[in-house]
Structure 1
């Protein structure tokens, strides 16, 4: 039986606004982040989208976002947390490295600074989301995570060329919709707060 996963990025935070690297570290939602999360909640209701289970990263920006989208009880999971950028946490985004030309991401760069590699983040996200979706009573699931983690999860199922071709944007509060069956996720669509 096919199931549905809605994987959402948290709302805009102070560090997003200040263009600071934000992985393991946290910062509060801005007024825009709050408004966008509330709009996503209204969009789900307007389209009759309901969830039998909801999950959040353990980071407050994700759980705060989820609580603005729905008042359902939820579980916080470490497996949904953002990419750990090690010593780069809280620094300017201008310090981010160039993409690895083969992997089309930051690759192993942050390992040398106490962070995670792209493939570690991807494996963690895939394992966590498969575990969630394999539960028999999980048919329609919302999970709130983070931009880097969501991107690496999507990269497991779509090539970088396909992501560019479909113009998938990882803006704050973007929602990636996937169908799930037999351990495999299929990307369907990306929704953003401004989408009606």
Structure 2
């Protein structure tokens, strides 16, 4: 089985301050760090052996990925792969709305559809296409690497963002095998079964961190 674990980054200062993040960045809070560690502990408890770790290049995502990797690295039974930057899973741009108050934004921050485009942002159609393309390529590469070693299974971790993760989930909602009406909290983990023949993803679980 080929599995993608799609992880939203941990809580940030901007999350607490209710500011629009997008392509700008803010540091993880202490809670965000604990959420990342909890996600790593969950993966370890499931005995997930990763063949690759990919992260959005934004610091909040990279810091989350490193916290998860450190947690998994404590298990000496398995070698944990290095983190690879993946620009294709970066958060959407909100253009001139970034760093403004979420409460003052005249659209849905989570899913603004194309209403964000006039502000210089990235519309949902473009974001969804980008996320699907990037994560499909990530899984293509992982499957090829596994097959080269004579294996028929692999696990890949990708650390991304709230709105970007939502668009990827919506793209494959028609194939989902779990309840889709669930929150995508900080450091939630979405598991997807990947079919390399049809290059489709099926969401099998959404795990929110309980702290």
Specify if TM > 0.5.
yes
Q: Distance in 2 between matches of 1:105 and 1:60?
A: 22
* Corresponding residue number in structure 1 for 2:85: 76
Structure 1: where are the runs of 5+ without partners? none
Structure 1 partner of 2:184: 170
Who is 2:31 aligned against?
A: 32
Residue of 87, 109, 117 corresponding to 1:111? 117
Out of 145, 168, 181, the residue aligned to residue 137 of structure 1 is 145
- The 1:42–1:164 alpha-carbon spacing in structure 2 relative to 1, beyond 3 Å, is closer
How far off its partner does 1:169 sit? 1.1
Question: Is 2:169 aligned against 1:154?
Answer: yes
Q: Quote the residue 1:190 is aligned against.
A: 206
1:63 has 2:62 as partner: yes
Number of equivalent positions: 188
Deviation at 1:156, TM superposition (A): 0.4
CA distance in structure 2 between the partners assigned to 1:82 and 1:164 by the alignment: 24
CA RMSD of aligned residues (A): 2.0
TM-score, with structure 2 as normaliser: 0.84
Residues 165/177 of structure 1: CA separation in 2 closer, same or farther (3 Å cut): closer
What is residue 89 of structure 1 aligned with on the other side?
98
Q: Deviations over 1:87-146 (max 9, x none)?
A: 0001001133345xxxx9311111111110001110000000000101212521000000
Which of 1 and 2 has greater Rg?
Answer: 2
Distance in 2, Cα, partners of 1:110 & 1:163:
31
* Structure 1 residues 193 and 165, CA gap change in structure 2 (3 angstroms): closer
Q: What pairs up with 1:12-23 in 2 under 5 angstroms?
A: 12-23=11-22
Aligned residue for 2:203, secondary structure, equals strand
